[in-house]
Amino acid sequence: MEEKQMEVVPGLAGIPAAESAVSYVDGEKGILEYRGISIETLAEKSTFLEVAYLLLFGKLPAESEYKKFKDDITYHTRLKVKILRMMELLPENGHPMEYLQSVVAAMGMYYPAKDVMNEETRYWSAVRLIAKMPTIVATCERLKSGDAPIQPNNNLSFAANFYYMLFEKVPDALTEKILDAMLILHADHTMNASTFSARVVGSTLADPYTVISSAIGTLSGPLHGGANEEVVHMLKEIGAKENARPSIERMIEKHEKIMGVGHRVYKTKDPRAKCLQSFAHKLFQNTTGKGKILEIAEEVEKVVNDKLASKKLYPNIDFYSGIVLQEIGIPTELFTPIFAMGRVAGWLSHWLEQLKTNKIYRPDQKYTGLHNQEYVPMSERR
Ligand code: ACO
């Protein structure tokens, strides 16, 4: 049998999977824009909820639009008691990403959203998902630590409320700004693995909770969202600035991957890594001795520049996000869920975009298996 002649591109690298107007990356120049606005400007001037609106609806909201969107989100931050009970029954050693994926999938049973072509259904699903994900993440952390969940405080900003639900205290202004910027910086990133996942599942007209739950599962892998946890583990293992060079050189010799380094698209330093590095400096500027992890990271970056620039490998967003989150007291296991709390805005925007001109994803394959094989009875098999 003759097979079709076709070339398989591993990882679909460089193959456009959709037309999109949500975000733009120039990997050579290190540019990232959401709806045409630079990520640096948004991280400095905007808020996560404004950015979520921008991504979802394609424009910055007018004051009244922003107020309505913010009020709608704020009103939906609570979890149903039955969802809380379900979370209490999940294993304590489960990863928060597993909790998040399961609970988001279960939300689809409480908020039916099968009619995905209905504009109201789409709007309220997006609102509920953005509103409830921080509550799910904070509740998961409280339950895993044996503490009672804390109800959302709707007088606080979106980012401050998340911190409050974790620690039962209001964050200082810098911590609040950093958490909010962290969500902005993670909110979208063109056709990455989890966004592709969201678009593929969305293309089947599955409901938005299924779409987002699939995307969360895709993000959980260590080559995607999980890398920021690995960076902190690696920096802790290196332990001191002077160990950075020999440790990294050894890893490179052994062809081990340095976590938080390299990117399919960026062939220069990730602009989000630059923003987070500058937040890290603000955070550490008043702390003596505690900036050790930042010093180690910056030394690792120097070695990576010396040794891997020829391969165009530079720090990505995960390289500095873990350091910053750790310093503001966020447990390591929550790094990727926080990524998801921001990225849900992008996933939903891509889902909405997909539905506008939907065609179910059904790629081809290059068959490399056998044909015309005999069915051998089990007793004769070896
Ligand atoms: N450390 C050392 N070498 C690396 C690294 C790294 N982190 N990343 C890539 N390389 C090397 C590879 O060994 C390979 O070398 P070779 O050509 O000599 O075999 C070459 O660079 C190309 O690497 P690929 O893995 O083919 O690049 P790809 O574009 O497929 O992978 C990825 C990109 C997955 C991000 C990769 O760089 C990686 O695994 N990095 C570490 C994990 C990480 O930080 N992930 C977070 C990505 S950002 C995000 O998802 C938010």
Helix (H) or strand (E) holding 97: helix 96-110
Q: Any bridge partners for residue 315, and if so which? A: 261
The rounded Å distance from CA 35 to ligand 1 centre is 27
Residue 338: count other Cβ atoms within 10 Å of its Cβ. Answer: 23
pTM of the model: 0.93
Fold for domain 227-327? Cytochrome p450-Terp; domain 2 (1.10.230)
Is the model's pLDDT at 177 over the cut of 90?
Answer: yes
State the Cα–Cα distance between residues 312 and 301, nearest whole angstrom: 13
Matching residue, tokens 């009020």? 71
Query: For the stretch 225-247, what's the b/e string if a residue is b when 16 or more beta carbons lie within 10 angstroms of its beta carbon?
Result: bbbbbbbbebbeebeebeebbeb
And the tokens for 356?
Answer: 């506008």
Fold for domain 21-221+333-356? Citrate Synthase; domain 1 (1.10.580)
Q: Residue 56: its pLDDT value, please? A: 98
Residue whose CA lies nearest to ligand 1 atom number 49: 224
Q: Residue 204: its pLDDT value, please? A: 98
Nearest of 195, 217, 232 to residue 318 by alpha carbon: 232
Domain ranges within the chain, ordered by starting residue: 21-221+333-356, 227-327
The rounded Å distance from CA 159 to ligand 1 centre is 31
And the tokens for 189?
Answer: 């990133």
Question: Is 264 close to ligand 1, i.e. is its CB under 6 Å away?
Answer: yes
Residue whose CA lies nearest to ligand 1 atom number 38: 262
Q: Are strands 31-34 and 37-38 parallel, antiparallel or unpaired?
A: antiparallel
* Model confidence pLDDT, tens digit, residues 303-312: 999 999 999 9
The rounded Å distance from CA 337 to ligand 1 centre is 22
Question: Is 289 close to ligand 1, i.e. is its CB under 6 Å away?
Answer: no
* Model confidence pLDDT, tens digit, residues 207-235: 999 999 999 999 998 888 778 888 999 99
* Model confidence pLDDT, tens digit, residues 281-334: 999 886 655 568 999 999 999 999 999 999 999 999 999 999 999 999 999 999
